[in-house]
Structure 1
């Protein structure tokens, strides 16, 4: 698949037009403590070393800096001044950028599904579609979190990065369509995760400018924090006598020079914290000798702790969608409206897409076929047929605009594993998610697709779909698009089960690999060693809410507060 096709595919997933970008060039407000790793001394000492300045790492670092010295090692660059990140119209560009210094690092799972991981300060919040919503109360309870501190931590995040979106015509039509087909009640604008249809928050402000977890570093005490960019950690260092204890890291700067960062003392107060994401955190544990012994030995890695659960429980919420070409102009919108069904499939939408020329012709062929079938059945008047032919002619010489309605599976129940391919931390590990391995996930997808079809056929949505174009043609269109590397099954009566399997995509909500109760305890401390925690989405058993970024940011703040409280208690003994 060539780069052009990959970019077009990302536009389909995002559901909005590629408009001419403009440079949003504001500087980071905390530039005094953000530096390139090339400027760092050979040896550094800090109370806390955070590996990964991403969605959880930034709020965690900002919080810890209030009472301790903190070093953040981020393998990517700054999101500020990068129009591919900061401007809503460039969402697809940021995800499809394959340049060596891009903010996203492409990978393809062993399932044959295209994917990407963040490589930038702010992590996934610098690349995603912006939807902001909380985890459910049940999720918070199962995680063992304190509800009051959770609420305060969410509020701390929201004061910097969350906004109420403007809900325009396309989003309103999908919202009303969801209500019409029974995804009830209507809960209005809310961050809460509750059954029914709602409008969630967004990290894009009214000017279409993205706000990210990096903005939360504005809370940091600049006297106590250093953030190093393009700093790739190669290894966590452990003591060799007694129970292994993390005491430092080796990292490399952009020029290839090695540096070492150590904890300021061997006190139990000081720690190294992995916040490198669902791929990066289990990968770095393995590279440092914590993981399945046989796998590490096969890569000539000295085993510190035989931890067979590192890399296990990898899961990616499967996404399936329909692209709906629109006869009317549509606004540029990312995810705003969501239908939270009682069968645990979430329905979301985005709009403003302009289709590539070759795909216009695919749609035209499908449209023409079904018009001919409709004409033979005498179900359409000559006047309507004339208007339809005019539409066909205009499409051939113009562009095809529309949007997507997608469904995401809660959980999911299906899981896989992550393994090392090389011992180079710059390389992607191998990961398999086993989409739809569990029948319940596939059943949820089918129910979600049925709901999407009902919304497309609803009265509320009728003005945004072409007349006489049945949903079967939209399904055929998706089967013809290069959405993944999985085989296609073409049939005049393809089942929704087969459609889900053939056209599965990622919604970039993958998680697992360092799960609570298996790799870390409920304080996020790595089992079998001291002085090391993992605080990010790799610890999740399931993805929180309809979209996880709000909860990942909250977790950074939440655990920062918890760690400082522990530090204060130990200091008074």
Structure 2
């Protein structure tokens, strides 16, 4: 590679949920030469595209970084699998496909924490809509009035990011929705209007029964642009930094390992780090940007002592309550026979519907853990199946799982390099259930699950609590049991947080530029100062849309 071949205007590190959109938007101007670096392979693996294929992608090195957390005190010493997408499309290639923005209050809070009004709900909504292709607007405007009603106010059409209804339903889930309604959780036909309180089926990022990831959405239509270069299996060792005459740090590119060769690539304008909430802090730390003591322990020269790189880790912990049921079909009974499996396969083959089109969770609900809460702080993921742990076989009895997570956890963890070798996985320490408030919400949420399952709408199924077990009643018992049965719902954020210029805990300024380093921006879920009240994939894409606008405007 010549020097000219290795020089680009923009280098985007990470071809995931944010990086694919960034590469698309930055290369739209033919004058910009853009390089996208992805450590994983192209998204050609069949199971990436069949919705139920997440079962074969998570825990598979073909598509997953295969991370595990450190043993966690809040989980009674357990360590969890911590899936992160390692392929084009990143986590959008292996996630649950649920389209969820969160709540308006999340974005208004970001605006307050950063001092940048562009982060508020009204302005962020425009960025969501900019790339949406929402099924509620497929039929166009009312020919008589030219009006699409409230959906056109809330959603976009014709963009790259496809949103569709799920292509299945289950009697036991419909009954759970009735039970939730009796409990006081109103029905909703749209979780994404700014207040997601309610119960209903999730909308999903699919197109005609196939997974719709960000690689399909944002990369494939533009992959032949002559000014866009995409390197897969390109692992970034570290950023390259230099100092100006005034001593100021400048990011000039990256050192990349690809096809058995290490090479330097140079960015004339900016490097955009979009490697995710685990890998972005890892890359920064390996490059000498992070807590000085940590870097020195691993023999890394300190370029910028920034103690909060890798801190502020937040995640949604999902508590999985399992109930045996009678008199209805569940996935446990359907998928545990050869005839049932054949029916599932044939339905998907001919209709692109049924269980093979399923997201991991089909029915959702948002509500408060207790009346004193000012907003919905719980999210339910309800499934017509059960198993001991993710990736294991379904139980051999009919059952359903009612998973519930605390949307606004107060516990904070961290991501820290384990060595100075870029190939070594970082240490991930979520510190789940580390605060009294998180333990109280866990106990209250399990009680609420029991109350919903006791409603008359569920009586026909004679639900019997299998996990955690009715013998556990006290706050301490339920919090301890939550530690035994809870698992991540794969929403890590916050490890390279943005904030005001005078906020010492903020690694980034409100426009996502790394404080103290020119030419370097971080654009992914790691920038969130506080986690959104719902699934985090589409908010990450919105962040990239907003950042791309800022970068092009700065240009």
Category of TM-score, reference length = shorter chain: 0.7 to 0.9
- 1:452 maps to 449
* Secondary structure of 1:56 counterpart: helix
C-alpha change, 1:294 and 1:190, in structure 2 (3 Å) is closer
- 1:125 maps to 92
- 1:512 maps to 494
- 1:317 maps to 316
How many Å apart are 1:219 and its aligned residue? 5.4
Q: 8 Å contact 1:110–1:431 — kept in the other structure?
A: no
C-alpha change, 1:172 and 1:137, in structure 2 (3 Å) is same
What TM-score, normalized to structure 1? 0.76
Is residue 549 of structure 2 the alignment partner of residue 553 of structure 1? no
Is residue 431 of structure 2 the alignment partner of residue 434 of structure 1? yes
* Secondary structure of 1:505 counterpart: strand
- 1:387 maps to none
Q: 8 Å contact 1:103–1:119 — kept in the other structure?
A: yes
What TM-score, normalized to structure 2? 0.78
- 2:467 maps to 474
C-alpha change, 1:428 and 1:347, in structure 2 (3 Å) is same
Q: 8 Å contact 2:68–2:428 — kept in the other structure?
A: no
Q: 8 Å contact 1:346–1:407 — kept in the other structure?
A: yes
Q: 8 Å contact 2:497–2:528 — kept in the other structure?
A: yes
C-alpha change, 1:350 and 1:158, in structure 2 (3 Å) is farther
- 2:273 maps to 274
Q: 8 Å contact 1:63–1:220 — kept in the other structure?
A: no
C-alpha change, 1:258 and 1:42, in structure 2 (3 Å) is farther
Q: 8 Å contact 1:161–1:213 — kept in the other structure?
A: no
Which residues in structure 2 correspond to 1:1-20 (within 5 Å)? none
Q: 8 Å contact 1:62–1:218 — kept in the other structure?
A: no
* Secondary structure of 2:39 counterpart: coil
How many Å apart are 1:261 and its aligned residue? 0.9
* Secondary structure of 1:192 counterpart: coil
Correspondent of 2:53 among 73, 90, 106: 90
Coordinate RMSD, CA, aligned: 2.6
- 1:348 maps to 381
Q: Distance in 2 between matches of 1:271 and 1:566?
A: 11
Residues 31-62 of structure 1: CA deviation (Å, up to 9, x unaligned) = xxxxxxxx999951111101101111111111
Q: Distance in 1 between matches of 2:520 and 2:251?
A: 6
Which residues in structure 2 correspond to 1:109-120 (within 5 Å)? 109-111=70-72, 112-120=79-87
C-alpha change, 1:543 and 1:491, in structure 2 (3 Å) is closer
Q: 8 Å contact 2:241–2:250 — kept in the other structure?
A: yes
Residues 346-382 of structure 1: CA deviation (Å, up to 9, x unaligned) = 11212355789xx999x8xxxxxxxxxxxxxxxxxxx
How many Å apart are 1:148 and its aligned residue? 5.1
Q: 8 Å contact 2:199–2:363 — kept in the other structure?
A: yes
Correspondent of 1:62 among 24, 34, 46: 24
Please identify runs of 4+ aligned residues in structure 1 that moved more than 4 A. 39-43, 146-149, 352-356, 490-494
- 1:404 maps to 401
* Secondary structure of 1:303 counterpart: coil
How many Å apart are 1:225 and its aligned residue? 1.2
- 2:176 maps to 174
* Secondary structure of 1:403 counterpart: strand
Which residues in structure 2 correspond to 1:96-175 (within 5 Å)? 96-97=59-60, 99=61, 101-111=62-72, 112-144=79-111, 145=119, 147=121, 149-159=123-133, 160-166=161-167, 168-169=169-170, 170-175=172-177
Which residues in structure 2 correspond to 1:237-276 (within 5 Å)? 237-241=240-244, 242-253=247-258, 255-264=259-268, 270-276=269-275
Residues 289-320 of structure 1: CA deviation (Å, up to 9, x unaligned) = 10111111111111111111111111222110
- 1:367 maps to none
- 1:210 maps to 211
* Secondary structure of 1:47 counterpart: strand
Q: 8 Å contact 1:77–1:103 — kept in the other structure?
A: no
Q: Distance in 2 between matches of 1:279 and 1:83?
A: 26
Q: Distance in 1 between matches of 2:393 and 2:167?
A: 29
Q: 8 Å contact 2:323–2:464 — kept in the other structure?
A: no
Larger Rg: 1 or 2? 1
Residues 240-267 of structure 1: CA deviation (Å, up to 9, x unaligned) = 33201000111001x3211211013xxx
- 2:365 maps to 339
C-alpha change, 1:193 and 1:172, in structure 2 (3 Å) is farther
Correspondent of 1:75 among 6, 25, 39: 39
Residues 93-120 of structure 1: CA deviation (Å, up to 9, x unaligned) = 21122x4x44342323331233222211
Q: Distance in 2 between matches of 1:539 and 1:422?
A: 24
- 1:192 maps to 193
Is residue 261 of structure 2 the alignment partner of residue 235 of structure 1? no
- 1:415 maps to 412
Q: Distance in 2 between matches of 1:182 and 1:492?
A: 23
Instruction: Judge which range, 337-346 or 414-423, deviates more.
Output: 337-346
Residues 508-544 of structure 1: CA deviation (Å, up to 9, x unaligned) = 0111221112111100000111100111111112221
Instruction: Judge which range, 213-222 or 550-559, deviates more.
Output: 213-222
Q: Distance in 1 between matches of 2:393 and 2:305?
A: 54
* Secondary structure of 1:508 counterpart: coil
Q: Distance in 1 between matches of 2:314 and 2:304?
A: 24
Q: Distance in 2 between matches of 1:534 and 1:326?
A: 47
Structure 2: stretches of 5+ with no match in the other structure: 73-78, 112-118, 134-160, 332-354, 370-376, 500-505
Q: 8 Å contact 2:235–2:257 — kept in the other structure?
A: yes
Q: 8 Å contact 1:336–1:348 — kept in the other structure?
A: yes
Q: Distance in 2 between matches of 1:197 and 1:492?
A: 26
Structure 1: stretches of 5+ with no match in the other structure: 1-38, 265-269, 364-398, 478-489, 568-573
- 1:329 maps to 329
How many Å apart are 1:323 and its aligned residue? 2.3
* Secondary structure of 1:201 counterpart: coil
Q: Distance in 2 between matches of 1:79 and 1:528?
A: 36
* Secondary structure of 1:510 counterpart: coil
C-alpha change, 1:454 and 1:360, in structure 2 (3 Å) is farther
